[in-house]
Amino acid sequence: MRLGVIAAGRLKSGPERDLADDYRQRADAAGRGLGLGPVAEREIDPRKLTTREAETAALLDAAPDGARLAVLDERGKALPSRAFAEQIAAWRDQGARDTAFLIGGAEGMTDAARERADLVLAFGPATWPHRLARVMLYEQIYRALTILGGAAYHKE
């Protein structure tokens, strides 16, 4: 199953970009033998989209047809890492070809995105800058793949 992160905005060079790339590359390597990955990234330019509705529509349209959708939203579920890994594995085992993780812009996602999502995911009740949320998502994807692969990265 291919994995993709579709985000509003561009993650420019700097420490967040370096961390995101590092975890994405680690996830690619960890997922190879599990039938998961590679992890693709698609950035949507929010300057061309003047409303939250237009931005959400662009993010949804960028997802592959039939993909399982995981929308990052502050009102979502805060899953433990093992449960996140199990969700990814379940989608793979159900025959999903693609899973897309959507990260909206500063205004967040619309109700339409949350309703269409297979999973609405939150990284706790705190509000996170989008640059850090993207890094955190890549790290959690990597962690999930190491859990599924039995690697020693995740400690419980």
Check pLDDT > 70 for residue 154.
no
**Structural domains of the chain, with CATH:** 2-149 (3.40.1280.10)
Q: What is the pLDDT of residues 84-133, one digit of tens each?
A: 999 999 999 999 999 999 999 888 889 999 999 999 999 998 888 889 99
Do the beta carbons of residue 88 and residue 2 sit within 8 Å? no
Q: What tokens appear for 59 in the block?
A: 């993010």
Omega prior to 38 cis, within 30 of 0: yes
Which among 128, 133, 138, 130 is positioned nearest to 41, based on CA atoms? 138
Gap between the Cα atoms of 98 and 129, Å rounded: 26
Provide the 3-class DSSP secondary structure of residue 24: helix
Q: What pLDDT does 20 receive?
A: 97
